[in-house]
Amino acid sequence: MENLDLPPERAAGLRRAETLARKINLLLDVIMSESGKPYDYPAIRDGAQKAGYYLSRTRWSLLKSGKEQVVPEEALRAIAAVFDVDPEYLLQEGGKLPERVEAELELIRSLRRAEVRNFAARALGPVDPEALRAIAKILDETD
């Protein structure tokens, strides 16, 4: 989004909202709830309440979509608690991914590589085992 015509404080607010939305959506894509399913609003709301903050459906929707708003520190801490990440991570434009997120992403990458290997093995039909090992090695090396 181009913020060239906006006052600096407004542009900063929009960047902050966009960063927060990007981080929240990454966490939603990567981290599963205790039930092993993706987080939905009721799980987020209940988790935030355990951390001492009531998160309305409207605020949650605005946060996920990157709409500029004043976000109370309590809300950030509660959301971070739900996903077990540092609240600062939610606002940093760059920086290192939390260890938990990095581990989940690596698991997803491994599962996808396994799917590609299985698909290739089925699509190629009877193939020399050495050729399958070579294909698997190439897939493992491309991250």
Domains (ranges, CATH) in the chain? 1-95 (1.10.260.40), 97-143 (no CATH)
CA-only gyration radius of the chain, Å: 20
Looking at residue 40, its pLDDT comes to: 93
pTM: 0.67
Express each pLDDT in 71-115 by its tens digit: 889 999 999 999 988 888 888 777 677 777 777 767 777 777 777
Q: What is the DSSP string of 63-78?
A: HHHT------HHHHHH
Of the candidates 125, 121, 143, which has an alpha carbon nearest to the alpha carbon of residue 134? 121
Look up residue 54 and give its two tokens. Answer: 């009531």
Of the candidates 17, 9, 124, which has an alpha carbon nearest to the alpha carbon of residue 61? 17
